[in-house]
Chains A and B, each alone.
Chain A
Amino acid sequence: MSVDTATVAKIAALARIKVSEAELAAMVPELNGILAWVEQLGEVDVTGVEPMTAVIANHLRLRDDVVTDGGVRDAVLANAPARQDGFFGVPKVIE
């Protein structure tokens, strides 16, 4: 499988990364080079093989359903590029 400019533009939109036309043009051959190389995985016979889910066998722990955190609003907001009245600030999203 290979990608064209329109596909890369769509992927970039999905990934929320703005790309210029020039960047798109440069990325298409780069991504196609990488995709052509990973294509060799198709040669491997994986009949009956389960996809890996945990690299080292480990059980998923459950913790007690109690409050363990919170009350740290100022710490949560400390690194926000824009904040107001104890909230994160973002551009208006409702017209």
Chain B
Amino acid sequence: MSGSANVLTELGVAAIRDGVVKGDFSAVEIADAFNANVAAATALNAYIVATPELAVEAAKATDARRAKGEPLGKMGGVPIGMKDLFATKGVQTTAASHILEGFKPEYESTVSQKLWDAGAGMLGKLNLDQFAMGSSNETSYFGNVISPWRRNDGGNAALAPGGSSGGSSTAVAARLAPAATGTDTGGSIRQPAAFTGISGIKPTYGRCSRWGIVAFASSLDQAGPMARDVRDCAIMLEAMAGFDPKDATSLNLPVPEWEAGLNADLKGKKVGIPREYRVDGLDADVAKSWDDGIAWLKDAGAEIVEISLPHTKYALPAYYIIAPAEASSNLARYDGVRYGLRDLPDGAGLQDMYAATRAAGFGAEVKRRILIGTYVLSAGFYDAYYTQAQKVRTLISQDFRNAFTQCDVILAPTAPTAAFGLGEKSDDPLAMYLNDVFAVPASLAGLPAMSVPAGLNREGLPLGLQLIGREFDEQGVLNAGLAIEARAGFSARPEQWW
């Protein structure tokens, strides 16, 4: 790849948008530069399908609009990676599963359509944990995504890029896209962002339409942007959000101008530090980065207050009832009849076909969650498991409501550790689930939450800090994130080995 291509792939969303408007470079030059990086990075396995022609086509349209003096849109000239959970018309959409291999939707998801309407183009479909179920991107049918980061021990162990949006996090961190879409059900934007030293925000539940996103747990699923910095997240979230009559839980609210509202001055703001997140045996580097974050927000003018979220320890077990229950229902649609894989053994009837198709098409973690979900919803167990979990979810939501009478935004670590090695946790489902301990509570409460890079740990790996806000207060979350970003001065990046 040429030297100038390298310079162009250093640019983020705002820099590309502004540079295309000014004529510093064309949108096609940008698309070509990122397409080259994508093609050269197959070792990372971030993309399931690359679509360089679509990136160029959108870029040509942007350049043509500019030549005619027309407005270019919020994402004009910005090529992005699309998590392969969003239905894209005519482009294979798999949710990283075998059961959807070859599926080419006849329709476009609302969020991806909004991004194209805003002038973005698609570099390709990004790998993820199968049906977004996982925290390491090790459950994909299309193979593991490899994090571009390596420990500073010289060992070159392959590390997890986080999950489920592991293709998205790797693509942004390795300059295979200036930004990417993610989805977050229990931390799937924030944890991978933390693992790879990038930023990502899950907005309030209902901000981004779920229409056309392969459903995992519908009461939790929420799309959001993953990008290099807070401003880029704000720009892209504006393009993704907005009311959609096709999603019954879509919020009928105007989309705020989050980018214009960015302000890192936190004078008069109170930042809550939840005492329950300071768990026994918390990793020393993670604890230190949290203390750094507290100092930075104080420096930005905020007052720090200790708060309590008493039901925190029950969030993860409640999540692992609610999410599998919803998944078992949502994934009932994969039956080998209407789309996707069909496995029809010789002489099999309809029921045998269903069972054989689903056995062949779903991976082990997906099956595990469908079975858990089926069990907790089955006659005689529904109240003990599912109703109890939904009551606990109410209490977790109330914890946040009470806390937000004393503070404006909450600061906590994003994940209990930095990135772990591939294979280190994949044999133990519970150990894997525990990695989302700090991310899941905000998901259960539907609150906006973001991860921003805070620094490196002793192994030279990125650590993220999480900001959780009141419902609809993405601005407060972004502003606190910006205050941290300005003070953390995070500029570390993985050395290119791929």
Contact = CB atoms under 8 A, between A and B. Distances in A.
Contacts of B371: 8, 11-12, 15, 17, 27, 31
B388 interface: yes
Interface stretch (B62-70, B143-151, B311-319, B417-425): B311-319
B369 to A, nearest CB: 9
7 contacts: A18-B352, A38-B320, A51-B393, A56-B249, A80-B337, A80-B339, A81-B342
Interface of A: 1, 3, 7-8, 11-19, 27, 30-31, 33-35, 37-42, 44, 46, 49-56, 58, 60-61, 63, 72, 75-76, 78-82, 88, 90-93
B375 A88 contact: no
A90 B388 contact: no
Contact of A38 (B317, B348, B354): B317
What 10 A-B pairs have minimum CB-CB distances, sorted nearest first?
Answer: A51-B390, A55-B446, A79-B339, A81-B342, A18-B355, A18-B359, A46-B391, A75-B106, A38-B317, A16-B354
B391 A50 contact: yes
B344 interface: yes
Contact of B340 (A3, A13, A58, A81): A81
Contact of B349 (A3, A72, A93): A93
Contact of A55 (B105, B332, B429, B445): B445
Interface of B: 103-107, 204-206, 219-220, 245, 248-249, 251-252, 311, 313-314, 317-318, 320-321, 328, 332, 335-342, 344, 348-356, 358-359, 362, 367-368, 370-372, 374-375, 378, 381, 384-385, 387-395, 397, 429-430, 444-446, 471
Given A1-B384, A41-B318, A49 B391 contact: yes
A7 B381 CA distance: 13
A33 B429 contact: yes
A11 B376 CA distance: 10
B374 A58 contact: no
A59 to B, nearest CB: 9
Contacts of A56: 204-206, 249, 251, 446, 471
B248 A60 contact: yes
Max chain B Cβ within 10 angstroms of own Cβ: one of A1, A16, A34? A16
B321 A38 contact: yes
B46 to A, nearest CB: 25
- Main SS of the interface on chain A? loop
A10 B171 CA distance: 42
Greatest chain B CB density within 10 A among A7, A15, A63, A80 is at A15
Nearest to A45: B395
Contact of B389 (A3, A35, A41): A41
A23 to B, nearest CB: 8
Contacts of A75: 106-107
Contacts of A31: 368, 371-372, 375
Contacts of A39: 317
Given A19-B359, A81-B342, 18 more contacts: A13-B355, A15-B371, A15-B374, A16-B354, A17-B355, A17-B362, A17-B370, A18-B358, A31-B368, A34-B429, A35-B372, A42-B384, A51-B387, A54-B249, A55-B444, A56-B471, A58-B249, A79-B106
A79 B338 contact: yes
B368 A30 contact: yes
A14 B355 CA distance: 10
B347 to A, nearest CB: 9
Contacts of B388: 41-42, 44, 46
A52 B446 CA distance: 12
Contact of B351 (A16, A33, A42): A16
A8 to B, nearest CB: 7
A72 B89 CA distance: 15
B342 A82 contact: yes
B185 to A, nearest CB: 12
Contacts of A80: 337-339
Nearest to B335: A16
B344 A91 contact: yes
A55 B441 CA distance: 12
Contacts of A60: 248
B79 to A, nearest CB: 27
Contacts of B368: 27, 30-31, 34
A3 B381 CA distance: 12
